[in-house]
């Protein structure tokens, strides 16, 4: 990928929750509601069916329905970029979903490594991603590896990233780094400079990542606080100071991190704080109690004052 073109994809992305009905089926009209909300709150783009979007909990058919609904909703917000989470342990399934996302006009895909077998080599991961890109990604397509080893148990070494970038310079753009590892964020900048497209997945590391040549963020908290993330992003672009902005974001993220996992928490807070529908979650995730949500809402609002 030409890095000059990559900069057109830089910015603040929400790792969006996924609206669903009480029976667990996708709420396709809710996807339009959610994208309109995020577009109006400063997001440059949205990741559909990432971790926060409960991606692995949906069947391939449901994923296809959700991708199609998001692509349709984007017609009302043409400047909003869309990334699709397409990674599964199955190479064939990932190829199918990735090809579909590009056929629907998504701007890129964010792909988990095949996370079932955790003790695999870089050679094995390279072969898997090499096959994916060869079979599913158009010449102008953008693929980001999804680095979240606390969840997947495996990740992307710097050498693997370099191999993939060298083998597919026009398609393998870079990485969504959700490791939460400050040193890894620094190493990405030191090793690749501006030659790798990096979006951090950790709100606490947003300013550090930007200073290490990252191109933006894709975070769960952007569902709630995208205006604050956008304010920091804009400050970085203009050269204005943003230490206090980062401190506020880190404090807010500390509140949310006390109540994992994120999807039920964010869905409840979107309802309580922003009047969106109270979308349920898919098992094994469970909803939080109203009393707990009320106390979290108060703590979150206090952290921002």
In a domain, 50, yes or no: yes
In a domain, 278, yes or no: no
The one catalytic residue in 13, 37, 115, 146 is 146
In a domain, 110, yes or no: yes
In a domain, 245, yes or no: no
In a domain, 145, yes or no: yes
Q: What is the pLDDT of residues 205-220, one digit of tens each?
A: 999 999 999 999 999 9
Look up 146 and say whether it is catalytic: yes
The one catalytic residue in 18, 51, 52, 109 is 51
In a domain, 144, yes or no: yes
On whether the CB atoms of residues 129 and 164 are closer than 8 A, the answer is: yes
Q: What is the pTM for the complete model shown?
A: 0.96
In a domain, 293, yes or no: no
Q: What is the model's pLDDT at position 136?
A: 98
The one catalytic residue in 8, 40, 116, 243 is 116
Counting the structural domains of the chain, the total is: 1
In a domain, 254, yes or no: no
The one catalytic residue in 37, 176, 219, 242 is 176
CA distance 141 to 15: 20
- CATH code (residue 156): 3.20.20.70
pLDDT tens track, the chain, 305 positions: 445 556 689 999 999 999 999 999 999 999 999 999 999 999 999 999 999 999 999 999 999 999 999 999 999 999 999 999 999 999 999 999 999 999 999 999 999 999 999 999 999 999 999 999 999 999 999 999 999 999 999 999 999 999 999 999 999 999 999 999 999 999 999 999 999 999 999 999 999 999 999 999 999 999 999 999 999 999 999 999 999 999 999 999 999 999 999 999 999 999 999 999 999 999 999 999 999 999 999 999 887 76
Q: What is the pLDDT of residues 170-205, one digit of tens each?
A: 999 999 999 999 999 999 999 999 999 999 999 999
Domain range for residue 64?
3-237
Look up 267 and say whether it is catalytic: no
């Amino acid at each position: 990928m030409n890095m000059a073109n990559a900069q057109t994809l830089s910015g603040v992305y929400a790792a969006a929750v996924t609206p669903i009905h009480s029976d667990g089926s996708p709420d396709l009209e809710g996807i339009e509601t959610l994208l309109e909300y995020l577009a109006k709150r400063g997001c440059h783009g949205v990741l559909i069916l990432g971790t926060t979007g409960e991606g692995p909990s949906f069947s391939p058919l449901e994923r296809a329905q959700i991708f199609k609904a998001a692509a349709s909703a984007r017609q009302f917000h043409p400047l909003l970029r869309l990334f699709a989470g397409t990674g599964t342990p199955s190479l064939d399934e990932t190829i199918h979903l990735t090809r579909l996302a590009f056929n629907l006009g998504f701007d890129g895909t964010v792909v988990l490594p095949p996370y079932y077998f955790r003790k695999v080599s870089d050679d094995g991961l390279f072969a898997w991603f090499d096959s994916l890109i060869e079979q599913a990604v158009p010449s102008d397509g953008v693929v980001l590896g999804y680095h979240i080893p606390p969840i997947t148990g495996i990740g992307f070494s710097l050498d693997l990233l370099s191999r993939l970038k060298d083998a597919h310079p026009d398609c393998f753009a870079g990485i969504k780094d959700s490791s939460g590892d400050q040193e890894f964020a620094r190493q990405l900048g030191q090793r690749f400079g501006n030659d790798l497209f990096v979006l951090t997945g950790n709100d606490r590391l947003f300013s550090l990542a930007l200073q290490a040549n990252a191109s933006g963020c894709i975070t769960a908290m952007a569902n709630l606080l995208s205006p604050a993330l956008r304010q920091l992003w804009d400050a970085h672009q203009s050269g204005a100071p943003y230490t206090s902005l980062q401190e506020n974001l880190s404090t807010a993220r500390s509140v949310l991190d006390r109540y994992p996992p994120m999807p039920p928490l964010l869905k409840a807070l979107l309802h309580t704080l922003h009047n969106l529908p109270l979308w349920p979650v898919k098992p094994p995730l469970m909803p939080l109690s109203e009393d707990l949500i009320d106390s979290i809402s108060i703590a979150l609002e206090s952290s921002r004052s």
